[in-house]
Structure 1
Amino acid sequence: MFATATRNFVEEVDPGGLLIPVRSLNDSIAPLTVVVSQKRFWFWQKPKHLPTDFTLNDILTGDTPITPVVTETDFIKYNGTYDENIQGTIDATFIHSNVNMEGKDTSKLQFSFGSLKKDEVDVRRLLQDSKNRLLDMSHCLIQQTKKKRQVFGVVKERIVTSQPCSVVEEVQQAEQCTGTLSLCGLNSSKVSLKDDGSLSKVSTEIPTNTTLAYALIDLEVKHDGRYELCLMSNKGGFEVDGPTQKSLVGVTGAPGGQNNPDVSHLTRELENVCAHFQLLAALPASSRSSLLKSITALTQDRAALSALQSLLDQMLLEKSVNVADVSEAHERSIRPVLEVLKEAERVSEAQTERSVSVLSALHLIISALDELTCDSLAALRVCSSPDVLKIMELLVQRLSGSGESPESGADEAALPEDVLSGVEHLLASSGVSLQRDGDAARSQIKQMQQAGNRPLVMCIALRGLHSLNPR
């Protein structure tokens, strides 16, 4: 809940900026705290930041510590409410069955952060103090980080609370489904099920001087321990002998395309991962149905989704997984996905060798979902029923192709208005506009430069979910 609150806070006050949300109240973030940034599998993923128990002084040689000059200023007064209303109705008549399903989830997350302060390190003074200083290359943190080819950064700015505050989450669920057909829809409801709703409320108290977000300055480390502060970019790391080692996995996007995406770039990157979607679509219908149901449920719990993403990272890197490292509540949420994955991998190994694995294909989808903003993820849940996913796949095709398909525009017109508004909201939150003209629909990236990789991430998430559609 705290991680969701800080992530929402950063998305509101510094979208696309340098601030990094704090994930846990146990993270102790102070000026010059050393943070390890892990490079990710896919170029569109933001680095994963791991705060350490050390400061820059702890890993320097010599007995004279660097005393940072820190300026404290008022930042903003922030008290917000994040409402998430997920509501939909589906009426369908098939040859042998019919179904009527209504569902509504209401989630409210209230942030009462109050007046916030900003601590900023004087970077000019830090530059002067860093001259002729050396890192202790024998320090255990440096040795472990260097082996895994990660990046060191030190905290140069942080946003902290100036008074006791709280985060309160209220969740109410209600659903009704009647008919003769089971659907994997908004609440994964079954036939003839009624639930008048349940309300849960959780409150977290946050003490004074708690860091909510921070910004880093990366270090470029030489063999002999000399280091430079990366002032204009985040391209730090350790000096290596020979060519730089490439990522284990990744979409092969050109560096220029990452910063200035266009439709051709989007199309090219979707083609690069087409085999991942095809592999998932070839799984047995029961496996696809189970995965779609479990993953859709995970989108309601950002922390559990991130925990699954981290486990899949671990499985790709180490070919093993330790579920004991996950909290009991998250373990219950992600275990169904891991069980289906284990069975699918076993079947896949018995078949002919493929260019990609089920693990890497599932990792791609979960990584894309975890990269979505909280606002986009909430809108996505409205679009996660099999019928809506078919229509969303058409929109993805149009966005990465001609962008318009009048002959199938009636698909959008057939959607209930509340679902259609959810579709438009998802596209808008990902930098894509949906323009309707009668039965024709045109989807296009609104502003290429500002959109960044958001349209690509959304398309990968939608196309991945659609590949799990059992229909």
Structure 2
Amino acid sequence: MFATAARNFVEEVDHGGWLIPVSSLNDTVNLLSVVVKRKRFWIWQRPKYLPTDFHLNDILTGDTPIQPVSIETDFIKYDGTYGENMKGSVNANVFDHSSFNVEGKDSSKLQSSFGSLKKEELDVQKLLRDSKNRLLDMSHGLVQQTMEKHRQVFGIVKERIVTTQPCSVIEEVQQGGNCGGRLSFCGGKSPKVSLKENGSLRKDSDVTMEIPIHTTIAYALIELEIKHDGRFELCLLSDTKGGFEVDGPASNQLLGASRAPMSPSESSHLKEELEQLGEHFQVLSALPATTRASLLQHITKVMENKEAVSSLQQVLEQMCQGKRPVLEEVTATESHKKSIQAVLDLLEQCGQTESAQANQSTAVLAALHLITSAIDEMTHECYAVFWMCCSFTGLQTLKKLVHCVSENGELPLSSSGLATPTEDVYEKTEHLFASCQVSLKRDGDTVKTEIHQQPGHRPLVLCIAIKGLASLDQSD
């Protein structure tokens, strides 16, 4: 709850900026706190930030501590409400002798009442003067353990957003369903036997979390560029990345320094990225139809809640790293945990079938991790529209639009086999692509696409999510 509220707050007030949402109330985040930034598996994924229990002074040599000077200013007053509504039904008739129907409806609302917030900022000019000629203790355990993992970087907290009054986060969840069925048997001399079964289930939850005063909601970092002898520099510009210098022949290289992302500002760049990932989509397409259908069903169930998608992504990431996930530690409802477990069971089956090729289970795992990582990277706005478009527009239709975006930018509806979309469907699809910096324009029978300037990784993330789910959705 709190992590979701903090993430929504940052998306609203500083999307694409410096602020990092706090992921746990247990995190201790003060000015000059040391935070480890860990690069993720895919280059377009946002880094993970791991606050430590250490202050910059704890890892410096010498006995003179740096005394930070902070500047406090009023930030904003924030109250946000986010809601999701999912509704679906299935009806089936078999040989006129039996029928079955299922209806389900889920709704959730998250209300974050943070009230008046203030911003605390370091006097960076003073920090520069005080840290000049200071050295890090390279024998310190935190430094040693971070340096051993080449994808990790040190940062220190230079700014934080804190509450000024007791506040609350409220989550309301309503889950309901109805199930009905009729099964009849008729024989020449036998009487007709009819079995009817009807049932309903409803589950409501209402959780309120009281947030104390002086709680950090979000923070910003200054990364450190660290030399092998302990000298360090503060990375003051957003395009300057930190890291550890290699001690040896490659002394000019920095471990953990992240290269500039390959921003798909043109369709050719996007096409190149998708082609490099094509083998993952092919792995999913080659699965048996029943396996694909089951995977899509359970992933779609998990997608009812964005945080459940994050939980599934984290479980798959642990498995990619050779770790055994503990499902009891996953933050999700029991219903979503069952779907996550079902995905894991299907992964295990992929490696047990007699016809399975070597490492097939590993390949499917990597492909599913790719898809869930892309969905998890979506903004709240994009995710909500993506869910609706998957239901109303259809994955195969979205897949053809992805091909249009990455190719020549035009899709004639008459020759594509697609029916002319209704105004409502077109507006939803247009909104989806616009949320990822891609414009759709309808010109008669043709849909034209164009990628905006400096879109970041958003078009790529959307295209991966669509192509991945469409690979599970296709029929033999």
TM (norm. structure 1) is 0.85
- 2:174 maps to a residue whose letter is Q
Q: 2:418 aligns with which of 411, 433, 436?
A: 411
Instruction: Give the superposition deviation at 1:195.
Output: 5.7
1:141-290 matches, cutoff 5 A:
141-149=142-150, 150-173=152-175, 198-232=203-237, 233-240=239-246, 241-243=248-250, 258-259=262-263, 261-290=265-294
Moved more, 374-383 or 362-371: 374-383
Q: Output the CA distance in 1 between the equivalents of 2:41 and 2:353.
A: 25
| TM-superposed deviation, 1:5 | 0.9
Q: Kindly provide the amino acid, as one letter, of the partner of residue 463 in structure 1.
A: K
- Residues 131-153 of structure 1, C-alpha deviation per residue, up to 9 Å, x if partnerless? 12111111111111111121000
Contact 2:79–2:114 (Cα < 8 Å) also in 1 = yes
Residues 463 and 319 of structure 1: CA distance in aligned 2, closer, same or farther (over 3 Å): same
Verify: 1:42 aligned to 2:42, yes or no.
yes
Q: 2:75 corresponds to which residue?
A: 75
Q: Given that residues 35 and 52 in structure 1 are in contact (C-alpha distance below 8 angstroms), is that contact kept between their aligned partners in structure 2?
A: yes
Alignment match, 1:251: none
Equivalent position SS for 1:208: coil
Which residue of the partner structure matches residue 33 of structure 1? Answer: 33
AA at the equivalent of 2:462? M
Contact 2:351 2:361 in 1 (8 A): no
Q: Secondary structure of the equivalent of 1:200?
A: strand
Q: Deviations over 1:8-39 (max 9, x none)?
A: 11111011111111111111110011111111
Q: Which moved more, 1:351-360 or 1:106-115?
A: 351-360
Q: Report sequence identity in percent.
A: 54
State the AA in 2 paired with 1:209.
Answer: H
Q: Secondary structure at the match of 2:300?
A: helix
Structure 2 CA distance for partners of 1:78 and 1:349, relative to 1, 3 Å: farther
Query: Match for residue 128 of structure 2?
Result: 127
Structure-to-structure mapping, 1:334-349, within 5 angstroms:
334-347=340-353
Measure how far apart 1:74 and its partner are: 0.2
RMSD (CA atoms): 3.5
Closer/same/farther in 2, CA of residues 314 and 198 from structure 1, 3 Å limit = closer
The separation in 2 between residues aligned to 1:355 and 1:171, in whole angstroms, is 35
Q: Gaps (5+ residues) in structure 2?
A: 183-196
Does the 8 A contact of 2:223 with 2:241 survive in 1? yes
Residues 52-91 of structure 1: matches in 2 within 5 Å? Answer: 52-86=52-86
For residues 70 and 398 of structure 1, what CA distance do their matches in structure 2 show? 51
Check the 8 A contact 2:37/2:154 in 1, yes or no.
yes
- CA–CA distance in structure 2, aligned partners of residues 268 and 77 of structure 1: 44
CA–CA distance in 2 between the matches of 1:328 and 1:457? 23
Map 1:104-119 → 2, pairs under 5 A? 105-119=106-120
Aligned to 2:379: 373
CA positional deviation for 1:170: 2.0
Distance of 2:179 and 2:25 partners within structure 1: 40
Corresponding letter in the other structure for 1:73? T
| Residue 432 (structure 2) pairs with residue 431 (structure 1) | no
Look up the equivalent residue of 1:389 and give its one-letter code.
Answer: L
Alignment correspondent of 2:188: none
Equivalent residues of 2:157, 2:219 under 8 A apart = yes
Alpha carbons 2:264, 2:270 under 8 Å: kept: no
**What CA distance in whole angstroms lies between the structure 1 residues aligned with 2:99 and 2:434?**
33
Instruction: Name the SS of the counterpart of 1:258 in structure 2.
Output: coil
1:469 maps to which of 461, 470, 473: 473
Write the letter of the residue equivalent to 2:170.
Answer: V
Larger radius of gyration: 2
Offset, 1:210 = 0.7
Shift of 1:380: 1.8
The answer to which of 385-394 and 203-212 deviates more is 385-394
* Structure-2 separation of matches of 1:176 and 1:264: 49
Aligned to 2:313: 309
Amino acid at match of 1:227: F
Q: Which moved more, 1:338-347 or 1:114-123?
A: 338-347
Q: Distance in 1 between matches of 2:264 and 2:331?
A: 39
User: How far, CA to CA, are the matches of 2:325 and 2:467 in structure 1?
Assistant: 27
Measure, in 2, the Cα distance between the counterparts of 1:17 and 1:230: 16
C-alpha deviation, 1:424, in angstroms? 2.9
CA contact (8 A) 1:108 1:171 kept: yes
Q: Deviations over 1:83-118 (max 9, x none)?
A: 33445789999x999999976543322111110000
Supply the distance in 2 between the matched residues of 1:175 and 1:412 (Cα, whole angstroms): 33
**Pair 83,368 (structure 1): closer, same or farther in 2 beyond 3 Å:** same
CA–CA separation in structure 1 for the residues paired with 2:11 and 2:319 = 29
- SS at 1:42 equivalent: coil
Residues 405-414 or 150-159, more deviating:
405-414
- Letter in structure 2 aligned against 1:14: D
Moved more, 428-437 or 154-163: 428-437
Cα distance change, pair 270–129 in 1 and its aligned pair in 2 (3 A)? same
Change (3 A) 1:55 1:332: farther
Contact 1:276 1:356 in 2 (8 A): no
Answer with 407-416 or 427-436: which moved more.
Answer: 407-416
Deviation digits for residues 213-252 of structure 1 (CA, Å, limit 9, x no counterpart)? 11110011111111111111341111113456999xxxxx
Number of matched pairs: 451
- Paired position in structure 2 for 1:362: 368
Q: Secondary structure at the match of 2:30?
A: coil
Of structures 1 and 2, the one scoring higher in RCO (CA 8 A, sep 6+) is 1
Any conservation in 2 of the 1:109–1:170 contact (CA below 8 Å)?
A: yes
Q: Is the 8 A contact 1:109 1:167 kept in 2?
A: yes
- For the structure 1 residues 387 and 90, does the alpha-carbon distance in structure 2 shift closer, same or farther, using more than 3 Å as the test? farther
